[in-house]
Amino acid sequence: MVFGVWLALVPILVLFLTLAVAYLLRQRGPSSTLATPLPRLLWFNTVLLLGSSLVLERGRAVLRQQGDPQRWTMVSFVMGSLFVLGQAVAWVLWWQRGMRPETTVHSAFFYILTGTHAVHVLGGLLFLGSAAFWPHRRLLGMGPALFARLTAIYWHFLAVLWIGLLLILELAT
């Protein structure tokens, strides 16, 4: 079952690698960017997502000790939700600066990369929410420990992926 989750991450990774390579190659073209920095809010959002991963791991540790992980998992869920909300606010801030998808290649890929990542985070929130609100039930035929482990693998993957995307967007400007 764990191998299946790792295997399912491969196409997601390939999608983002393909988008990143396309962005980096396109950035080499003439007049592909305007000197508009990314919203600083993205860094706060990053702290939220990484913190959510850490809190989720604390919940898994409690579960391994036969404790109730619900409080920790709910905090992780809330932090993940705030990450998505923060990403939406960052979009609005950038839009207000005149950075629309059609403005530059950089702005187009900003929306594509962050939007695609946000969709995957929303999917992760479905599983994280299930683990948070029904911590002791069998979900999708799995016990709580296995469900929490699989959810954590996906969630941590999204956090690491986000750091890579943010660095690419920051450094390629």
Q: Each residue's pLDDT tens digit in the chain (173 positions)?
A: 778 889 999 999 999 999 999 998 887 766 555 567 899 999 999 999 999 999 999 999 999 999 989 999 999 999 999 999 999 999 999 999 999 999 888 899 999 999 999 999 999 999 999 988 876 777 778 888 899 999 999 999 999 999 999 999 998 76
The amino acid occupying position 141 is: G
What is d(CA 135, CA 125) in angstroms, rounded to the nearest whole number? Answer: 14
pTM of this structure: 0.91
Token readout for 88 is: 């939406």
> Residue 124's pLDDT is what?
96
User: Residue 28 in 3-state DSSP?
Assistant: coil
> Residue 155's pLDDT is what?
97
- How many CB atoms lie under 10 A from the CB of residue 29? 9
> Residue 156's pLDDT is what?
98
Please report, for the chain, the start and end positions of each structural domain, with discontinuous segments joined by +. 2-27+35-171
What is d(CA 108, CA 152) in angstroms, rounded to the nearest whole number? Answer: 30
Of 88, 99, 119, 83, the C-alpha closest to 173 is 99
42, 92 Cβ separation under 8 angstroms:
no
> Residue 35's pLDDT is what?
61
Task: State in words which class domain 2-27+35-171 has.
Answer: mainly alpha
Burial of 44 (0-12, 13-18, 19+ CB in 10 A): middle
Phi then psi dihedrals of residue 35, to 5 deg: -75, 70
